[in-house]
Amino acid sequence: MTSANSGATRAFDDKRERLLRAAARCFNEKGYSGTSLKDVAIQLGLTDAAIYYYIAGKQELVYQCYMRAADIGQRMLDQAIDEGGTGFDVARRYLELHVAAHCGDEGPIAIMSEIPSLTPEHREEILARSRVHSRNFEAVLRRGIDDGSLTDCDVRMTGNAIMGAVNWIPKWFHGDPAVAKDAVRTFPEYLMRGLKP
């Protein structure tokens, strides 16, 4: 690939990323039925027609937002696992990374609350990715129980409770830097406090 093509690809990807963040904000605030492509275009200073350069329509846009959310969550969990430590260390680090993603430059991240709006194929793909991610996080919790760094618990229920809390951040976080700093510092601590042996 030539440097010109590489630059064009990077520019396209950057604009598409801005589109997905803007769409995530709209879907989180108004839901699928309450959001139009015009709403997203206004946030970006684009025409409605310009959005179709990046996506085929609103249904594909929400699907791409959910794929992005799944990608970010998996990347944060993979990084935490790669950094190592006890099960407690990995779980807490994952939460730090994921909260920072929600409250930082990668936010907003779409809340996966509009799964029924997806096509059956897209719905199954997103749900399958969500199940894999949940199982991977449950494995981290189980590892913590086995190594003694976490108290014995139902990893399925505990994982669901923690993931639900993290994934709901876009409902109460609206960009305040002071709130972001406090959330990154305290949210993982609060979520993990009850899991210490």
> pLDDT value at position 13?
82
Range of the domain at 68: 58-193
Q: Is residue 1 part of a domain?
A: no
Q: Is residue 165 part of a domain?
A: yes
Per the CB < 8 A criterion, the answer to whether 180 and 102 are in contact is no
> pLDDT value at position 12?
78
CATH assignment at residue 185: 1.10.357.10
Retrieve residue 15's tokens.
């604009």
Q: Is residue 100 part of a domain?
A: yes
Q: Is residue 138 part of a domain?
A: yes
Q: Quick check: 156 pLDDT over 60?
A: yes
User: Could you read off the pLDDT of 42-59 as tens digits, one per residue?
Assistant: 989 888 888 888 888 899
For 12, residues 6+ apart whose C-beta sits below 8 A from its C-beta are 54
Closest CA to 169 of 114, 98, 121, 86: 98
Overall average pLDDT of the 164-178 stretch: 92
Report the domain count for the chain.
Answer: 1
Average pLDDT, the chain: 92
Overall average pLDDT of the 52-79 stretch: 94
> pLDDT value at position 47?
85
Q: Is residue 122 part of a domain?
A: yes
Q: Is residue 110 part of a domain?
A: yes
Rg of the chain over all Cα atoms, to the nearest angstrom: 18
Per the CB < 8 A criterion, the answer to whether 78 and 101 are in contact is no
> pLDDT value at position 51?
86
Q: Is residue 48 part of a domain?
A: no
Q: Is residue 104 part of a domain?
A: yes
| Burial class, 137, CB count within 10 angstroms (exposed 0-12 / middle 13-18 / buried 19+) | buried
CB atoms within 10 A of CB 151: 13
Retrieve residue 110's tokens.
């779409």
